[in-house]
Chain A
Amino acid sequence: KNEVEQSPQNLTAQEGEFITINCSYSVGISALHWLQQHPGGGIVSLFMLSSGKKKHGRLIATINIQEKHSSLHITASHPRDSAVYICAVVWGNFGNEKLTFGTGTRLTIIP
C-alpha cells in the first residue's frame, strides 16, 4: 500500500501570490500525476512526471524520487486557479500499476 499525503489540505491566497502544494508518498513509484478538479467535478490532468521538473504556462511540477516528494507550483495565481489539486502516484509492477490518490488540496484565490 502506498500512503500519499498532501499538504496543505486547504489554502487561501491573494491573487498574484506564488502557490506551492506538496505531495509525499511512502513507496517507490514509476510516475506521479498532478490533477485539477473544479467545483463541477471534472478532472483535468495537469502533469505526469517521473523525474525532474515540468512546466506548463504558470504551472511547474517537480519531483524528487529519492525523497519521495513532489511539489506543484503556481506562479502569479489567479481566481480561475481555484480548484482542488490532487496528486496521484503510480506504483506496482508494469502492466499492473496501481494509482493511489492524495486527498487533495483545496485552493482558493481571492481577487
Chain B
Amino acid sequence: GAVVSQHPSWVICKSGTSVKIECRSLDFQATTMFWYRQFPKQSLMLMATSNEGSKATYEQGVEKDKFLINHASLTLSTLTVTSAHPEDSSFYICSARSLAGGSYNEQFFGPGTRLTVL
C-alpha cells in the first residue's frame, strides 16, 4: 500500500514555543490530507482537512490560529502548533488520500507524532 511518513516521530518542547510536524505521501500524490489528534486511551479525532493549494477546513472546536495547516504541494502537509501549552501534548496523526475516479479512495495513515509540551 501507499506510504505516508511523519516527521518528527516525537518532540518535546517548552511551553510557549511553536512546533512543526510534517506529513509526506511518499509514493502517491495526495490531493487531501487529514490531521487527527489522539489523547491517551481515546480514539482519533479529526482536527482538520486540507486540500492541496487551498485553506484547511477545521472541525468545530479546533482553533485555526493555534493549529496552522499548510498543504502547499501534493506530497507535503505541515501542522504547526503555535505557542504550545501542556494541554496540547498529544499524539498527532496525519492521513492522506488521492481523489480519483468515482469511488472513495482509501486514506493512508502516517505513523504519528507524539508531542510533549513541558
Contacts and interface: CB of A to CB of B under 8 A. Distances in A.
Of B43, B46, B106, B109, most A-chain CB atoms within 10 Å:
B43
A72 B93 CA distance: 23
Contacts of A86: 43-44
B42 interface: yes
Contact of A43 (B45, B104, B109): B109
Given A30-B104, A90-B104, A45 B109 contact: yes
A3 to B, nearest CB: 12
A-B pairs, top 10 by smallest CB distance, nearest first, are: A42-B111, A101-B43, A43-B109, A48-B106, A30-B104, A41-B112, A101-B44, A103-B43, A31-B104, A41-B91
A26 to B, nearest CB: 16
Interface of B: 1, 34, 38, 42-46, 91, 93, 99, 102-104, 106-112, 114
15 contacts: A30-B103, A41-B38, A41-B91, A42-B112, A43-B110, A43-B112, A44-B109, A45-B109, A48-B106, A50-B104, A88-B44, A94-B103, A98-B46, A101-B45, A103-B43
Contact of B109 (A35, A90, A97, A103): A35
Q: Could you tell me the dominant secondary structure of chain B's interface residues?
A: loop
A45 B1 contact: yes
A94 B102 contact: yes
